[in-house]
Amino acid sequence: MMYPNLLAPLLIALALALVALVLVAVRQPVSRRLAFRQLARRRTEAALVIGGSVLGTAIIIGALVVGDTLNFSVRQEAYRTLGPVDERVVAPPGPGGRAVAERLAVLSDDPEVDGVLNAQATQASAVSRSGDRTVAEPRVLAWQMDFDKASGFGAAGGESGIDRPDPKPGQVVINTPLAKSLRVGAGEPITLYLFGTPYTYRVDRVVPEQGLAGVGLGGRLNRDAFLAPGTLDSAARAAGAEPRSVTFVSNRGGVESGDALTPQVTSDMRKALGPLAGQTAIETPKHSVLREAEQAGDSLGALFLMIGSFSIIAGALLLVNIFVMLGEERKSQMGMVRAIGMKRSRLVASFTVEGAAYALLSALPGVAIGVAVGWGVAVVAAEIFSGWSVGGSSIRIAFAVTPTSVLNGLAMGLLIAFAAILATSVRISRFNIIAAIRDLPTTPGREPRRRLLVVSSALAVLCAVVAVPAVARSQPDATYLMPALALAFATPALLRFLPRHTVTTLVAGTVLAWTLLAPVVRPRIFDTPSMSVYVIQGALAAFSAVVLVSDNQKVLLRPVRRLLERPSEAGLATRLAVAYPLAKRFRTGATLVMYTLIVFVLVLLTEISGILRAGVDGVVADATAGYSLRLDYNPQVAGEQLITELRNGPSAAGISAVTPLLNATGRATDPGHRSTQPLDVAAVGVPDGAITGITFRERLSDLPDDPAVWRALATDPRYVVIDGFFGSTGGPAGDYYDPGDTLTVTDPQTGRSEQKVIAGVLSNGMVFYPGTGASSTTYPVVMGEHGIRELFGDQAQNASALVSTSPGTSSDTLATQLQGEQLSSSLVATPIASEIRHQFDSSTAFFRLMQGFLALGLGVGITGLGVVMVRAVRERRRTIGILRALGFRARTVQRSFLWESTFVAIEGIVLGSLLGVLTTWLMYANSAAFTGLEGGFPIEWTSIVGLAAATFAASLLATVGPARRAASIRPARAVRVAD
């Protein structure tokens, strides 16, 4: 569920708002009758207001449902690959492993434990042959466990996933992923390579990938084979080896409820292990999976909510615009009721009750559309996330929605609508009674009132004082907000000395300049996982730019003055089209903001996608440094022997260089201090002097070049290198740590820890990420051979290598060839360049998904323009009748309305596009998020022009109806009838 901590405050706030509305409606019957009378009379307007509110609520709920879906999808990993398993102890082979299993047996009597299960496992590979068809799977886990005990393991908390009976000798039970990979079913033969030796078995049955039947040692996708008792021991003895000893522990309770007992049970396990606890890693995989689920759901939900925030702002502006127009239309009526004694507070109450009724009527449709939007995003995201895989492992998206998220979204939508309506109602109620009755235009006062001047000046000084340390420390939100608020609050004081036009232009221009230049002055403001800074930046840029443009429209229209002054029908239509937007600056500005905001973000996403595509070649070059393949294999079977075979075997002609890597699993602190939880890391040891070409985005000041960093790793075990995504919490990539910062790396098996110094931050660390289906939150820490052996001892084994291909050799072809030759070693060959390009393609698809989600907001903007035009026809009906009576043709009236919407739409599209391109360029030049993307800054002309054309066409379609309606007005009736 998304933001459960917000549920109570939001529901309390909503309840208070509804109680206040009910009290107003009950205690002020005149206000209530006025509100409901307008609601019944203005059905078209009511439908438009409700439509705007529906879209706003739907966008909020859609974003929260996306978070629910991601959270649920990752949580399913706990059911699929863990089931009742809460803790896991993987002991080294041999007597030590057996001693660990014996000591943990006492946990069977622990009241917090549902069961303890001992098993043996080894990394294997498999082949199936049917006629001329041969299918190989290099990554298999072969298990040996007691099916009778396994079937009852954690039964109190749910199904274990393993059922009786044990497979008989010569038979094997496999899970669904392995059956799909080998394309076999029950009764068919398969060959398993156990400890490098092939053994043929017949499939007894295929079990669903759930609980113990999907369990692994850290991967998301586990292809499991379960052998008869004693089979694995026998194969190990024949090879002179021993399988790993694995002990599973199930906490009391269900799959998720048992996680709460993890701290207590792990403490009991350490006590049971006694002196062996320091030599054994007690893993809590379910706790990690559930924590990762929460982070994934919250971060991606927040990302979509950030994107949706711009649409929500547009929806709120639509409500404001509609109510301002309603107020303008009813100005004479409101002046009369005020003249006969109605208080301003009761007028505000009438408008607020009317608006609240619109918002409440939109609630249920908004929920339904929001859930549908979330489902649509989930369907598309399922395809995208299937591409974000490591070793064939990826998040499997499953749609989910929780009542908490629906209630949160509903409450947010209603409260935003209520706030917008209340603020607008207060503004509408402030009018001169005589001017309202006579329908005279309002004239703003020259100078603000004394009380407003004092309060605003004090707030301006306070914001300016707060802005100084905020900007100095690069605090993201405050760096943008405080200077902008200081300028806004200083406006009443400036009006005492300068003309209103000058003050407005000065303040809006300064805010816009600061919004654009803040990343240049303080580039670290984007070093935050929070998405709020992007919402603030976009909103400030759009609002300030629109205010600046709206207040200087006459200057902007000077180039087309000749067209406006032409003594022709077209010139007359153009003058009419421009006159109304210039006269009604507020509503024109509100519509412009809607367009500008949405187009701005759409162009921003388009440009970021273009930067990714343009920079992929440079990223591939930085990441590979001449290496074509990453090989991962079973160190128990392969090791140095495999390296020799690669250099001298059948495929040696296609290989120009092989660099073996040492590998170990460990834990590390976060050098960016974003989390106090230890991070899972893949420690990688590089041979001395073997790697010099992989580049760094930053390095220690006393290391003159990139090869010097690799030499430092070889000579000083204190030094390590990491990449820019180390410890990522799901937010945008930033610059959270620098060379010279420290982190503590721990060997979980021995408990030994060492403080390491970051010698450099890799431009791209893709080649060092495990290619074995490990969790996406396992980050590489690269060190020298001496450093990894000193810290991890015998745990550091040769389990991977980097390979350079000879000229003319295809890396994809060589990868397939090597996997076939080294099947017994469980070798997995990953073409590095292809993998990186695939990941970039998935990222681009994800940006397209966000653009599609944001298109809802564009719908709000287009709806807003349509609403303005519908209201304009009603408001100007008498004027249109007089023009028609004077001889204006219907075609001229229709053309003027179409050109009016064209004028507003084009201004919004151009302004949003310019801001989007400029903002992206400034971020590209200054933000650490784009470090390593050196393909230049492309302007995506084709995509931007296509977006502009589609938006413009939709805007015209939204105006055709009102324009035809205006043209069909009968002069005599329009002049005579007031309403």
Does residue 929 lie in a domain region? yes
Does residue 629 lie in a domain region? no
Domain match, 488 and 578 both: no
Give the confidence band of 231 by pLDDT, cuts at 50, 70, 90.
very high
Q: What is the pLDDT of residue 963?
A: 80
Residue 527 backbone phi and psi in degrees, to 5: -80, 65
Does residue 598 lie in a domain region? yes
Q: Looking at the predicted structure, is the pLDDT value of residue 684 above 90? A: yes
3-state DSSP assignment of residue 87 = strand
CA-based nearest residue to 321, from 699, 49, 6: 49
Domain match, 210 and 97 both: yes
Q: Which of 767, 793, 826 is the last residue of a domain?
A: 826
Does residue 154 lie in a domain region? yes
Segment 777-795 shows an average pLDDT of: 88
| Count of domains forming the chain | 5
- For 9-45, write each residue's pLDDT tens digit: 888 998 998 898 888 888 888 888 877 877 777 676 6
Domain match, 542 and 567 both: no
- Which long-range contacts does 454-459 make (Cβ < 8 Å, 24+ apart)? 456/489, 456/490, 456/491, 456/492, 456/493, 457/489, 457/490, 457/492, 457/493, 459/485, 459/489
Q: Looking at the predicted structure, is the pLDDT value of residue 393 above 50? A: no
Burial degree of 575 (CB within 10 A; 0-12, 13-18, 19+): middle
3-state DSSP assignment of residue 625 = coil
Rg (CA), the chain: 34
Q: Looking at the predicted structure, is the pLDDT value of residue 469 above 80? A: yes
Domain match, 752 and 866 both: no
Instruction: Of 434-438, 574-578, 649-653, 820-824, give the lowest mean pLDDT range.
Output: 434-438
The range of the structural domain enclosing residue 591 comes to 560-622+835-979
Chain mean pLDDT for the chain: 81
Pick the most confident of 813-822, 830-839, 841-850: 813-822
Find tokens 């022009």 and name the residue.
945
Domain match, 817 and 721 both: yes
- For 493-551, write each residue's pLDDT tens digit: 888 888 888 998 999 999 999 998 888 888 778 777 666 788 888 889 888 998 998 88
Q: What is the pLDDT of residue 199?
A: 93
Q: Which of 772, 805, 826 is the last residue of a domain?
A: 826
Give the confidence band of 157 by pLDDT, cuts at 50, 70, 90.
very low
- For 725-757, write each residue's pLDDT tens digit: 888 765 555 677 889 999 999 988 777 899 999
CB 390 within 8 A of CB 366: no
For residue 654, the 8-state DSSP code is: G
Find tokens 């077209």 and name the residue.
570
Q: Looking at the predicted structure, is the pLDDT value of residue 388 above 60? A: no
Instruction: Of 365-374, 573-582, 684-693, give the lowest mean pLDDT range.
Output: 573-582
Does residue 410 lie in a domain region? yes
**What's the CA gap between 360 and 365, in Å, rounded?**
10
- What is the percent of the chain where pLDDT is above 70? 89
Does residue 403 lie in a domain region? yes
Segment 635-660 shows an average pLDDT of: 84
Q: Looking at the predicted structure, is the pLDDT value of residue 389 above 70? A: no
Q: Looking at the predicted structure, is the pLDDT value of residue 155 above 70? A: no
Segment 685-707 shows an average pLDDT of: 86
Instruction: Of 111-120, 202-211, 929-938, give the lowest mean pLDDT range.
Output: 929-938
Domain match, 523 and 649 both: no
Segment 897-924 shows an average pLDDT of: 86
Does residue 628 lie in a domain region? no
Does residue 627 lie in a domain region? no
Q: What is the pLDDT of residue 730?
A: 57
Q: Which of 531, 551, 571 is the last residue of a domain?
A: 551
Domain match, 651 and 791 both: yes
CB 249 within 8 A of CB 269: yes
Domain match, 11 and 138 both: no
Segment 127-149 shows an average pLDDT of: 85
Domain match, 759 and 848 both: no
Segment 798-815 shows an average pLDDT of: 88
Contacting residues for 514 by C-beta, under 8 A, at least 6 apart: 480, 483, 484
Segment 933-948 shows an average pLDDT of: 83
Q: Determine if residue 773 is left, alpha or beta; phi over 0 gives left, psi from -120 to 50 gives alpha, anything else beta.
A: left
Span between the terminal Cα atoms of the chain, in Å: 50
pTM higher than 0.85: no
Q: What is the pLDDT of residue 224?
A: 92
CA-based nearest residue to 369, from 297, 421, 311, 416: 311
Q: Looking at the predicted structure, is the pLDDT value of residue 390 above 50? A: no
- Which long-range contacts does 42-48 make (Cβ < 8 Å, 24+ apart)? 42/326, 44/870, 45/322, 45/326, 45/870, 45/871, 46/358, 46/361, 48/322, 48/863, 48/866, 48/867, 48/870
Segment 660-680 shows an average pLDDT of: 86
Pick the most confident of 327-336, 415-424, 765-774: 415-424
Pick the most confident of 313-322, 456-465, 575-584: 456-465
Q: What is the pLDDT of residue 483?
A: 92
**What's the CA gap between 478 and 512, in Å, rounded?**
16
Instruction: Of 429-438, 768-777, 851-860, give the lowest mean pLDDT range.
Output: 768-777
CB 958 within 8 A of CB 868: no
Q: What is the pLDDT of residue 3?
A: 67
* Residues linked to residue 145 through DSSP beta bridges, in sequence order: 119
Give the confidence band of 440 by pLDDT, cuts at 50, 70, 90.
low
3-state DSSP assignment of residue 250 = strand
Domain match, 226 and 306 both: no
Q: What is the pLDDT of residue 439?
A: 64
Q: Looking at the predicted structure, is the pLDDT value of residue 174 above 90? A: yes
**What's the CA gap between 485 and 477, in Å, rounded?**
12
Domain match, 132 and 258 both: yes
Domain match, 843 and 954 both: yes
| Distances in whole angstroms, Cα of residue 378 to Cα of each of 54, 364, 529, 609, 849 | 21, 21, 23, 21, 10
CB 619 within 8 A of CB 840: yes
